């Protein structure tokens, strides 16, 4: 369904924005994410990766400020972001471009901006490391203006936030800016529909089987549902939230970890809840056949 069609459906409700942090290496992406989670993560406890015996941490978290939720994705690099896009997985609503005020704009900063623009997502600029003695905020701002990122005070529509992942300065403002952009974008989804979304990552873990992180983008994913994910399928046997707690269902913009797929899907594979396991098996089987034919063709050529 197109966005217009989806908006027209009766049960559209606001959903949390999905945010990706991008920028030049060492400008503070990880530190900012950590800081945001520390201050506004759903639980003040350390993320319980032991729950359910799952050893790897989810690369997506929900945070909450002033009653508003946001889902942050930890995308492993700009290429992954664009590869996702190329495969039709439009998972991000807002890109936070992090720029160190002591280094200013660097090649990967420009690259990140280009990727965000190509994906047509809203941009927030986070000028980070403003606590450092050699921080040059004005110079950094000017460099960004030259790349056509303009704050509203200059007739643009890009929020600029000056922050420090080290001291915590500006973190509140950053989340407030996310909330404002999200509200303007009127992001909605229909939680009454069958769950669908994108696989963020998946791997095989010992005798537990395939563990997949899915981002539910529309509808609700429930325990017991049959999932078709790329060329793989299975029933949701167990499902965990971003704190490693077992959950029964997950609505729009919620990242979950789940066990039940028969094979490891590709990251970026879309997933859908389907009516029954026979249908899922049939479609997955056809996709596998097609895939192996393509591989054979590539091999011969």
Tell me which residue of 176, 143, 138 sits closest to 159, measured CA to CA. 176
Tell me if 277 contacts ligand GDP by CB under 6 A: no
Tell me if 141 contacts ligand GDP by CB under 6 A: no
Paired with 246 in beta bridges are 240
Which region, judged by CB under 6 A, interacts with ligand GDP, from 42-50, 147-155, 160-168, 171-179?
Answer: 160-168
Using DSSP's 3-state secondary structure scheme, residue 35 falls into helix
Q: For ligand GDP, which residue of 117, 166, 223, 288 counts as binding (CB under 6 A)?
A: 166
Closest separation between CB of residue 168 and ligand GDP, Å? 9
Tell me if 266 contacts ligand GDP by CB under 6 A: no
DSSP 42: S
Check whether 115 is labelled as a binding-site residue: no
Name the strand (E) or helix (H) holding 72.
strand 68-73
Cα four-point dihedral sign 95, 99, 105, 106: negative
Q: Which is nearer to ligand GDP, 33 or 228 (CB)?
A: 33
CA separation (Å) from 43 to 15, 36, 172, 244? 20, 12, 17, 11
Contact 90, 83 (CB under 8 A): no
- Could you give the string, one character per residue 10-49, with x where binding to ligand GDP holds by CB under 6 A and - elsewhere? -------------x-xxxxxxx------------------
Which region, judged by CB under 6 A, interacts with ligand GDP, from 127-135, 138-146, 153-161, 260-268?
Answer: 127-135
The single residue listed with the structure tokens 């960004």 is 144
Residues that bind ligand GDP (CB under 6 A): 23, 25-31, 128-129, 131-132, 164-166
Q: Which residues are annotated as a binding site for GTP?
A: 23-30, 74-78, 128-131
């Amino acid at each position: 369904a197109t966005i217009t069609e989806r908006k027209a459906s009766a049960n559209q409700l606001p959903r949390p924005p999905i945010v990706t942090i991008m920028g030049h290496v060492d400008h503070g992406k990880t530190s900012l994410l950590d800081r945001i989670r520390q201050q506004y993560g759903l639980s003040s406890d350390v993320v319980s990766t032991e729950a359910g015996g799952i050893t790897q941490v989810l690369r997506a978290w929900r945070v909450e400020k002033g009653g508003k939720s946001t889902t942050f994705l930890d995308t492993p690099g700009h290429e992954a972001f664009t590869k996702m896009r190329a495969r039709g997985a439009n998972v991000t609503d807002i890109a936070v471009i992090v720029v160190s005020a002591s280094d200013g704009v660097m090649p990967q900063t420009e690259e990140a901006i280009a990727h965000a623009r190509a994906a047509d997502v809203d941009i927030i600029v986070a000028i980070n490391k403003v606590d450092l003695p050699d921080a040059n905020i004005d110079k950094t701002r000017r460099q960004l203006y030259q790349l056509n990122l303009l704050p509203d005070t200059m007739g643009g529509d890009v929020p600029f936030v000056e922050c420090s992942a080290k001291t915590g300065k500006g973190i509140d403002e950053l989340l407030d800016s996310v909330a404002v952009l999200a509200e303007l974008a009127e992001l909605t989804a229909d939680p009454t529909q069958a769950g669908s979304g994108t696989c963020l990552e998946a791997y095989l873990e010992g005798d537990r089987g395939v563990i997949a992180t899915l981002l539910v983008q529309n509808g609700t994913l429930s325990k017991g549902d049959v999932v078709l994910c790329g060329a793989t399928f299975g029933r949701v046997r167990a499902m965990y939230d971003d704190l490693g707690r077992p959950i029964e269902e997950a609505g729009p913009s919620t990242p979950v970890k789940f066990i039940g797929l028969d094979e490891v899907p590709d990251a970026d594979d879309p997933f859908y809840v389907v009516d029954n396991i026979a249908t899922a098996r049939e479609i997955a089987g056809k996709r596998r056949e097609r895939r192996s034919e393509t591989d054979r063709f590539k091999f011969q050529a």
